[in-house]
Structure 1
Amino acid sequence: MMVDWFHRRQSELVDAAAFAGIGFWQMLGRAGRHGPEEWDRYAKGWMKRGAEEFYRAPEKFPGTLVPGRQQVPSPVLCDREENNTVFLRVWPGRRGMNSPAMILLHSLFSASDVYHYRRRPKGTWSGELVFGGNLIRSAETIRQAVAETRMIARMARAAGAPQVGLWGMSLGGWIASLTLCQEPDLTCAWLVQPIPDVATAIWDSPGGWVIRRQMEARGLNRAQASRMLPLVCPTFGKPRITAEKILLVGGRHDRIARPEQLRSLAGDWGGAHYREVGQGHIGYQAMPMAWRWGTSLMPDLFERQG
């Protein structure tokens, strides 16, 4: 159909422009570098220890959640001091901190995730260090973000939240989907265009062209780069909540988080809800539609609180 053709071409243009900008930042090469041997040692070490240890969250956490803005130390420290603090903004519901809580996890370049805004090292762009030819830094970024999300979920429960859910977009959806496979007692998850397969995003999409060149220049091929996929891809994990409390939203023209992969993931996760919007990876339909679908599919989560 002509309308679908137009939406596809529009999505390709928007995604191409966005990923060209991302590629420019990646070409600066400020994420650092490593060779195949260093990556091999890192990957083998963590694969031996497993996902539980890789994403371990602290049993004790610093303080409790309070309304408004706050900051707490990250449970996973890195070599950039600016990135070792978690910045939060808390909006309480009708019952204050005793309201059910939804943790909102944003996409790349959006707010205060790892290496973003106040967490970015001086001399770098917000989000620049998240993905680049330095696979070790990227893996540590994902590890840090999941551990932080688990810590925040526990802090919310300790502050009085009877239920805690996750709502993530793109990078945030990826983090939420990995958290979902590690953290017990979550209530729901709305995963908007999460990255189901990192290898596809790097090697088979327009968004990975700079990373591919950087890795190849350092002697890393696809097989070597894929050694940690079981730890960083949600397709290898199993969520710790029931399928009816999971919503996956895909973009019909998305070549990063491909819709066929998300549909397959929904099936592998026991029949999680899957819905689709007519956009690429970059767009403004998915998040508002996730709210509409989430509230419709899970009305019991939004019953009037007494």
Structure 2
Amino acid sequence: MYHSWLDRWDERRAKRGEEGKETRSFILDAERAFPDANKVASLEEFCGLAERAAVDPAFFAEPRGSDQGFQRHDGWLQFPSSISTDVEENNVVWAKVTESGTFDQAMVVFHHWNASARNRQIAKYLSRSGITVVEMAMPYHFERRRPGSVYADYMLSPNLGRTIQSVRQAVLDGRKLIHWLKGEGYREISVLGMSLGSWVAGIVAAHDPAVFKASLFLTGGSLADMVWTGRATRSIRTGLEPNIGLTDLRRAWAPLNLETYAHLLAKRKLDLHVVLAKRDKVVLPELSESFMQRLKAVGASPNILNLNCGHYTLGMPPYIVFAGLSLKRFLLTLPPSFIQF
């Protein structure tokens, strides 16, 4: 009875999330994803570029001048994005800083798609434990929102190239922020990603050696599969489906597949924490399980908390309490690789 109520609540929340979402047109837009590419006219050409980018360490490389242009005032950070887009507001990154009073650890938070507010409760909760929390606005969200838009349709859409550009922009902005935090004296940097933000946090953690710990909430491996099967992305699939199948979408979004970087996430000095929802209709449990199996196959040992709730009901008691306590323990526990005898 109780779990049926949870499922109904999740469905009502999902329906509210559909309000204002429009079905956009499919487009390659390869020049956004791969700035150095020549004019790409076919899906096959696009997929070839994407597959090469997925194995190119330079694609998500830390941008030059990562410590430049930062302004700090009244608990906020502002800095220029590493990628310039045609939406002026999106080219300035905003981050809310909740200080802990120490320089022992800072955590960069990447929120979920279409987030309407930052996670003030989590920030206050962790800051009291000595962790400075930095909540970065992802592309086209919060202060970076495209004028006139009612949701972040430029972050995730049937525009294959813009979606890659947006996720890459979020990753590069995150790496730039981490570099600045290290320069400010923070000794340990962790990342937390929620839903779509978990893909960003995972790619950042895979590529940035400064990341000490990574916590991924409501995550999966293939972003293409998540969009194709998820409850929250039906309008995107509607725009994609007449023009591309799932097999080719996996190829086209190969740089955004966390399973591609599982071997990097398994590196010795990175500690992994994952929170999943058994009743999730947005990131289906089978996608999460496939990703967990891939991580274990390459030697990672993720700390997994699997709760019997849905994607949205994770934010409700008691599940958010369980998740918060698990996250706190993870962040404050020294991983085995750092224990010296």
TM class, shorter-length: 0.7 to 0.9
Q: Distance in 2 between matches of 1:264 and 1:225?
A: 18
Q: Secondary structure at the match of 1:103?
A: strand
Q: Distance in 2 between matches of 1:77 and 1:195?
A: 28
Tell whether 2:327 aligns with 1:294.
yes
Report the CA distance shift for 1:74/1:35 in structure 2 as closer, same or farther (over 3 A).
closer
Question: Which position in structure 2 is the counterpart of 1:228?
Answer: 252
Q: Secondary structure at the match of 1:212?
A: helix
Task: Give 1:53 shift.
Answer: 2.6
Q: Distance in 2 between matches of 1:228 and 1:28?
A: 20
Contact 1:243–1:273 under 8 Å retained in 2: no
Question: Which position in structure 2 is the counterpart of 1:210?
Answer: 235
Number of residues of Structure 1 aligned to a counterpart in Structure 2? 292
Amino acid at match of 2:328: T
Question: Which position in structure 1 is the counterpart of 2:27?
Answer: 34
Q: Distance in 1 between matches of 2:239 and 2:86?
A: 22
**What TM-score do the two structures reach when normalised by structure 2?**
0.76
Report the CA distance shift for 1:105/1:298 in structure 2 as closer, same or farther (over 3 A).
closer
Note the alpha carbon deviations across 1:92-144, whole angstroms, 9 max, x for none.
2222xx33101111112224321012211111114232222222211211111
Task: Give 1:35 shift.
Answer: 5.3
Report the CA distance shift for 1:94/1:152 in structure 2 as closer, same or farther (over 3 A).
same
Question: Which position in structure 2 is the counterpart of 1:268?
Answer: 294
Q: Distance in 2 between matches of 1:118 and 1:88?
A: 9
Tell whether 2:27 aligns with 1:54.
no
Report the CA distance shift for 1:19/1:39 in structure 2 as closer, same or farther (over 3 A).
farther
Task: Give 1:64 shift.
Answer: 4.9
Tell whether 2:276 aligns with 1:250.
yes
Question: Which position in structure 2 is the counterpart of 1:85?
Answer: 92
Task: Give 1:210 shift.
Answer: 1.7
Q: Distance in 2 between matches of 1:44 and 1:189?
A: 30
1:19 to 14, 17, 33: 14
Contact 1:168–1:176 under 8 Å retained in 2: yes
Amino acid at match of 1:249: V
Q: Secondary structure at the match of 2:241?
A: helix
Q: Secondary structure at the match of 2:204?
A: helix
2:140 to 99, 115, 122: 115
Q: Distance in 2 between matches of 1:205 and 1:90?
A: 32
Report the CA distance shift for 1:179/1:253 in structure 2 as closer, same or farther (over 3 A).
same
Q: Secondary structure at the match of 2:211?
A: coil
Contact 1:251–1:276 under 8 Å retained in 2: yes
Q: Distance in 1 between matches of 2:228 and 2:23?
A: 20
Q: Distance in 1 between matches of 2:88 and 2:197?
A: 22
Q: Distance in 1 between matches of 2:62 and 2:42?
A: 26
1:152 to 177, 191, 195: 177
Cα-Cα RMSD: 2.7
Contact 1:230–1:236 under 8 Å retained in 2: yes
Q: Identity, % of aligned pairs?
A: 21
Amino acid at match of 1:228: A
Q: Distance in 1 between matches of 2:292 and 2:28?
A: 36
Contact 2:167–2:200 under 8 Å retained in 1: yes
Amino acid at match of 1:209: R
Q: Distance in 1 between matches of 2:45 and 2:202?
A: 26
Amino acid at match of 1:83: N
Q: Distance in 1 between matches of 2:227 and 2:240?
A: 10
Question: Which position in structure 1 is the counterpart of 2:101?
Answer: 94
> Where in structure 2 are there 5+ consecutive unaligned residues?
30-40, 118-136, 336-341
**What TM-score do the two structures reach when normalised by structure 1?**
0.84
Which segment is superposed worse, 148-157 or 260-269?
A: 260-269
Task: Give 1:91 shift.
Answer: 2.2
Alignment of 1:159-198 (within 5 A): 159-198=184-223
Amino acid at match of 2:48: K
Q: Distance in 1 between matches of 2:270 and 2:28?
A: 43
Task: Give 1:247 shift.
Answer: 0.6
Report the CA distance shift for 1:244/1:103 in structure 2 as closer, same or farther (over 3 A).
closer
Amino acid at match of 2:252: M
Amino acid at match of 2:238: R
